[in-house]
Amino acid sequence: MSTRTLLLTAWYFPIRVLQWQDAVKMIYEGTVDVVAEYDEEIRSPSTTWMMPAVVRLRRRVIRRQHGPKFSRMNVYQRDRFRCQYCGQRFRWGELTFDHLVPRSRGGRTEFRNIVTSCKPCNARKGDRTCEEAGMFPLSLPAEPATLPLASPVVKATAIPDEWAPFLGPYAT
């Protein structure tokens, strides 16, 4: 049984992978339309539906927050997947983030205290401040007002056939 459903924006841009139960709830609430279905049925005592493979939001999502929320991927995007110590670009799996003021010394996990770092540079800096390590970021971290729109990263070998027309270049 397929357990995942691809969620699209109102403009058919992939934004998230849901559990099928969450997708069914959204269909029932009327917040999404079914775009593609699996060949499997979902049964209840009163109804039978086809398992949703891809659903699309009926309305655009209005975000009321002031900027992007803090997340590892948003830090990587802000810093353009570049280590802020050595300046090299890396793939997502080769990066980590570094606290300028270490957590052990009261540093918080927020945009203004975190920079993207490659694993060797992060290990070299360790649990020290920038001054103690003699390592300073190429640019000071700041909370971004906006970030480029990113799609969920999905491995091409793991995507169901029903998702392929909607993912295009977003499958890796």
For the segment 35-53, the average pLDDT, to the nearest whole number, is 90
Asked if residue 2 has pLDDT above 60, the reply is yes
Q: What is the CATH number of domain 72-133?
A: 1.10.30.50
For the segment 83-87, the average pLDDT, to the nearest whole number, is 96
pLDDT of residue 52: 94
Q: Name the residue among 52, 59, 63, 65 with its Cα closest to residue 9.
A: 59
pLDDT band with cut points at 50, 70 and 90 for residue 100: very high
pLDDT band with cut points at 50, 70 and 90 for residue 157: low
pLDDT of residue 68: 79
pLDDT of residue 161: 77
Buried/exposed 109-141: b ≥16 CB within 10 Å, e otherwise: eebebbbbbbeebbeebeeeeeeeeebebeeeb
User: Which residue has 């049984």 as its token pair?
Assistant: 1
Round the average pLDDT of the chain to a whole number and report it.
Answer: 85
Give dist(CA 133, CA 13) in Å, integer: 43
For the segment 57-70, the average pLDDT, to the nearest whole number, is 74
DSSP-H helix ranges across the chain: 20-29, 72-78, 119-125, 130-133, 164-167
pLDDT of residue 131: 94
The residues spanned by each domain of the chain are: 4-63+154-170, 72-133
Q: Name the residue among 98, 116, 120 with its Cα closest to residue 107.
A: 98
Separation of first and last alpha carbons in the chain? 24
Residues 101-154: tens digit of each pLDDT: 999 999 999 999 999 999 999 999 999 999 999 999 999 999 887 765 555 555
pLDDT of residue 113: 95
pLDDT band with cut points at 50, 70 and 90 for residue 80: confident
Q: What is the CB neighbour count within 10 angstroms for residue 8?
A: 21
Q: Which amino acid is at 161?
A: D
pLDDT band with cut points at 50, 70 and 90 for residue 155: low
This prediction's pTM? 0.54
Q: Name the residue among 79, 37, 33 with its Cα closest to residue 56.
A: 33
